Amino acid sequence: MIRPSDRVMEIEESPTLAVTARAKEMRARGLDVIGLAAGEPDFDTPENIKKAAQRAIEEGHTKYTAVGGIAELKAAIIGKFKGDNSLTYAPDEILVSSGGKHSFYNLCQAFLNPGDEVIVSAPYWVSYPPMVRLAGGVPVIVPTDESTGFKMTAGAMAERITEKTRAVIINSPSNPTGALYTPGELRAVADAAVKKGLLVISDEIYEKLVYDDGNFVSVASLSGEIKERTIVLNGVSKAYSMTGWRIGYGAGPAELIKAMTKVQSQSTSNPASVSQWAAVEALNGPQGSVGAMRDEFEKRRSVMVKRLNAMEGVSCVMPEGAFYAFPEFGGAIGKKTIDGKAIDGSVALASYLLDEAEVAVVPGIGFGNDSHLRLSYACSVDNIEEGLKRIAEALGRLK
Ligand code: GLU
């Protein structure tokens, strides 16, 4: 028997990817599974971006690049920060990696020592705590609930700060709740963090997906002092429907970017060369598709949340951004299936819905909340309506 390392034994595989893979496998077996699990837009990557990638192949951009990304992409990222966020970065303050997830992984490896604590508000994206742990760090969870719109207050954060705390993660708009911090809320958390000498890790991957005339503000743009202690993580996956291309980036203090680049140079090397050229076009080319996809997500969000709230025993706050709903299923948890199986938490509930209703959703436990499920509305309205109809029927069969 070959035993994996202790640190790998301590983590679970990513539940978002696991459920998505299981739904795919059931579909391949001919089952009519509705997928509300995948955290990726269902739109095709825009044509101009695909063309840029084809051009890159034809022009021979198929070799190693600089570890931290080609100069053209760094320039496009710098232009994006200037134009969208009024933030000024130099090339040595930017690192391009193989997806936003990889940027976060590099950061943990480059920044954390064993025992260092990182403040993570729950509900959190499933991969933050495991990536902190893989680097020897300790995720310190700050629970939030509907009463604060699932947002961590500066006071709740301050209570968890110890002499071992090194960083706090902010993810606005949030995966899985869709919560969007106001500039005032961001400033309160960031000021408190900076005062204690913490690093602010701002995951801004859902920046472009904000609804109801909401306004995205990067925490790094709030003051020079905050910017100096903030690393912004972003990428092209969600805004440009480019999840498979794997291009994310980090922007922050040069010494930290240098350390992250060192980790990348000794692990993956550069992100895929062709994908980098596609990302240059995504950031520099026409932006019309971004707004069009956003508008479509906004319509789908309304359909999903209205239907969820119409179900007995289910309640869902209106997400302000991203493309997920994170409803509470208090009325279903504690019940039993007709054949007597207990629905004792979100894993049992999600399995029941996949087996009985053939609808794939992600159990809330992976996000830190066991009475919730995460449903993605990055799929057609027809799928949302059919999926929720099946969920309502299946919940109605619980006793
Ligand atoms: N961020 C997406 C999600 O939460 C992508 C999948 C993943 O890497 O977790 O579903």
Q: Please report the pLDDT score of residue 176 as a whole number.
A: 98
Of all residues in the chain, the percent with pLDDT exceeding 90 is: 98
CB 125, CB 100: distance < 8 Å: no
Q: Is 127 in the pocket of ligand 1 (CB under 6 A)?
A: yes
Give the model confidence (pLDDT) of 210-247 as tens digits: 999 899 999 999 999 999 999 999 999 999 999 999 99
CB distance 37 to 325 below 8 Å: no
The angle that helices 47-58 and 273-284 make with each other, rounded to 10 degrees, is: 140
Find out whether the beta carbon of 175 lies less than 6 Å from any atom of ligand 1.
yes
Q: How far is the CA of 169 from the centre of ligand 1 (A)?
A: 17
Residues 224 and 229: their CA atoms lie apart, in Å, by: 9
Task: Enumerate residues 6+ apart whose C-beta is below 8 A from 96.
Answer: 68, 69, 70, 73, 74, 77, 247, 248, 249, 270, 271, 276, 279
| Contact partners, residue 128, CB within 8 Å, separation at least 6 | 104, 118, 120, 139, 169, 171
pLDDT value at 187 more than 90 = yes
Q: Rounded to whole angstroms, how far apart are CA atoms 388 and 197?
A: 46
Share of the chain above pLDDT 70, in %: 100
Q: Hey, whose CA ends up nearest to atom 1 of ligand 1?
A: 39
Q: How buried is 5 (Cβ within 10 angstroms: 0-12 exposed, 13-18 middle, 19+ buried)?
A: exposed
Q: How far apart are CA 105 and CA 112, in angstroms?
A: 11
**Residue 2 confidence (pLDDT):** 96
pLDDT, tens digit (0-9, with 9 covering 90-100), for 42-99: 999 999 999 999 999 999 999 999 999 999 999 999 999 999 999 999 999 999 999 9
The mean pLDDT of 136-150, rounded to a whole number, is 96
pLDDT tops 90 at residue 298? yes
- Ligand 1 mean position to 128 CA, how many Å? 11
- The answer to whether residue 38 scores a pLDDT higher than 90 is no
Q: Virtual CA dihedral for 96, 99, 101, 102, nearest 10 degrees?
A: -50
Mean pLDDT to the nearest integer, 17-35: 93
Q: Tell me: the pLDDT tens digits for 269-296?
A: 999 999 999 999 999 999 999 999 999 9
Residue 366, H or E segment: none
> What's the 3-state SS for 148-161?
HCCCCCHHHHHHHC
* Ligand 1 atom nearest residue 125's Cα: 4
Q: Are 269 and 319 in contact (CB under 8 A)?
A: no
Q: Which burial class, exposed, middle or buried, applies to 303 when counting CB atoms under 10 A from its CB (0-12, 13-18, 19+)?
A: middle
Q: Which atom of ligand 1 lies nearest, measured to the CA of 101?
A: 8
What's the gap in Å between 341 CA and the centre of ligand 1?
29
Question: Average pLDDT, whole number, for the chain?
Answer: 97
Candidates 278, 261, 280, 279; CA nearest to 270 is 261
